[in-house]
Amino acid sequence: MSDTQAMQSFQARLRGKLIQAGDPEYDAARKVYNAMIDRRPRMIVRCVDVADVIACVDFARTEGMLLAVRGGGHNGAGLGVCDGGLVIDLSGMRGVRVQSELRTARVGGGCTWGDVDHATHAYGLAAPSGIISTTGVGGLALGGGIGHLSRRYGLSIDNLLEVDVVLADGSVVIANEQKNADLFWAIRGGGGNFGVVTWFQFRLHPVKEIIGGPTFWPLEQAPEVMRWYRDFIRQAPRELNGWFAFLTVPPVPMFPEALHLKKMCGVVWCYCGDPAKAEQVFAPVKNFGPPALYGIHAIPFPALQGVFDGIYPPGHQWYWRADFVNELSDEAIALHCKHAALMPTPQSTMHLYPIDGAVHDVAPGATAFNYRSSGWASVIVGVDPDPANKAKITDWTKGYFDALHPYSAGGAYVNFMMDEGQERVQATYGENYRRLAEVKRKYDPGNLFRVNQNIRPAG
């Protein structure tokens, strides 16, 4: 078949829109959340159904084209887009069906977490996700999924019941604990390495209104706050999640004007337990310091999920570095405080997400997500709207990471990594890497799905 014929028969199989260079939508369609990424695919297909996804996978495989899969487009390393290949854009596949009596939801492969929260909140239910509503379900859930509900209900993958996957050979399979159990094990942490997930099925939990929000302390108090937070969160009830941050207070009405643009440290809390016990649970938080801002209120869960959306819109420059950490030693805390004081731009930040509670209930080998027994997932992110500040945010992030990496557990959360090479991917999957490579050989021997933190098929 000639190239033109192949292209024509491909187009005839599609219901979704095919966008190529020169089309009016091309530049908007190739943009991802991180404006540091500027890639020019040969074509982008806005798939509307599973049949479109199969057609794209078949075409990329038979034509030997590089293939990228875009869920929410949030990945820091820009893994939802590629240069010169075909992009499967799932943003047209965003249906959510809640089965309230079963406490489950079927979620389209291109949904954002905002789509899921919107649908589940109506039933007083929620799925464990992240901390920003615009992030894609696809990338976040396949990498693990760390967020406000992790201590109580585990990672997103710990609540994943089933997936529909389009494999590299164009076939569609269901994977769960019984069917294709090896694939189900691998996709829970192994990212998009094994196929395109067109449907997710999640377990939901009775979470409607939570009690939470931020507490801030002056940066000068950061060493004591960090030490207190380290000891407090470990013994706090699971219903209370709190992630630590260094930040610059955004100049928005939500925060007192006296704090605007001040560098501070803080914790963002989410309590999903019995409201009658909230005062007692939060008493140590209210009394420590006390905080310069105590912003704890009863709010709908989706409101907490959306609270940072406006502060971090798409189109900024982002540079990420991350590690899992087992312990936060006083020495490491001193280094954190030193580098935090040098935060180069108002949106640059450092977060420490607790990895404990329900996350520790699942054995490290039970899913592909490694480092379950660590204490925190740390991430340092240089962020700024101005491309002229690219070097400034990158240098700060790298310098901070280099100083703290010796105190880490060795690998990082895949969803917080940039393009850092095979050694780093292997360090991240640790003991699970070999098994992942075997599963990869079985389901994607030609490594068609390689625009990701790549697991190479076992030789």
Residue numbers of the site for ligand FAD (CB under 6 A)? 32-33, 69-76, 79-80, 90, 109, 130-132, 135-136, 138-140, 142-147, 191-192, 196-197, 312, 415, 451-452
Least distance to ligand FAD from the beta carbon of 422, Å? 15
Closer by beta carbon to ligand FAD, 203 or else 277: 203
Residues 458, 36: Cα–Cα separation, whole Å: 33
Taking the complex as a whole, how short is the minimal distance between the CB of residue 76 and ligand FAD, in angstroms? Answer: 6
Residues 6 or more apart in contact with residue 157 via CB below 8 angstroms: 141, 142, 144, 145, 188, 189, 367, 369
Closer Cβ to ligand FAD, 37 or 264, answer by number: 37
Give the separation between CA 222 and CA 341, rounded to whole angstroms: 10
CB of 430 to ligand FAD, least distance (A): 18
Nearer to ligand FAD, 84 or 406 (CB): 84
Residue bearing tokens 């939508």: 25
Name 142's Cβ contacts closer than 8 Å, sequence gap at least 6: 157, 187, 188, 189, 190, 191, 192, 197
**CA 57 distance to own-chain centroid:** 24
**Separation between Cα atoms, residue 109 and residue 136, nearest integer Å:** 9
**Nearest distance in Å: CB 349, ligand FAD:** 10
For strand 172-175 and strand 160-166, is the pairing parallel, antiparallel, or unpaired? antiparallel
Of the pair 80, 189, the CB lying nearest ligand FAD is at: 80
Angle at 333 between CA 330 and CA 339, to 5 degrees: 150
**Contact present, 217 and 337 (Cβ < 8 Å):** no
Q: What's the residue count for the chain?
A: 459
Q: Least CB distance from residue 415 to ligand FAD, whole Å?
A: 4
Tell me, what amino acid is at 55? A
Q: How far is the CB of 33 from ligand FAD (least distance, A)?
A: 5
**Beta carbon of residue 74, minimum distance to ligand FAD (angstroms, whole number):** 3
Tell me the C-alpha distance between 251 and 264, whole Å: 13
Query: With respect to ligand FAD, which residue has the nearer C-beta, 115 or 239?
Result: 115
Report DSSP state, residue 2. -
